[in-house]
């Protein structure tokens, strides 16, 4: 497994853990407002820790508006930002 793939896998696991800490994986957040500033902070921390130039986040909860946001850039060194319509290569999620 390449170093990039390992980082992606670790990132996926860290992302799932981050969502769980927000109470999103347990359903507790369905009654509470989503702390967007905390999600922003987790995304920034994740990008720094796993050295990724950009990522997209989607949080979908029953009966509540979806939270979708892009962070960073599509390609390191280029200005094109990640947004909610950015397509990522397979296994990059």
DSSP state letter for 66: -
DSSP state letter for 31: G
CA–CA dist 19, 26 (Å, integer): 9
pTM of the predicted model over 0.75? no
Model confidence over 10-52: pLDDT tens digits?
A: 455 455 445 544 544 445 544 578 899 999 999 999 999 999 9
Count of C-beta atoms within a 10 Å radius of residue 17: 11
CA–CA dist 66, 59 (Å, integer): 6
Average pLDDT over residues 69-88: 93
């Amino acid at each position: 497994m390449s170093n990039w793939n390992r980082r992606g896998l670790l990132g996926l696991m860290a992302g799932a853990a981050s969502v769980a800490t927000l109470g999103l994986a347990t359903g507790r957040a369905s009654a509470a407002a989503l702390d967007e500033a905390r999600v922003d902070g987790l995304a920034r921390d994740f990008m720094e820790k796993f050295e990724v130039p950009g990522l997209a986040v989607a949080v979908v909860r029953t009966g509540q508006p979806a939270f979708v946001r892009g962070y960073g850039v599509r390609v390191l060194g280029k200005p094109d930002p990640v947004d909610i319509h950015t397509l990522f290569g397979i296994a990059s999620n």
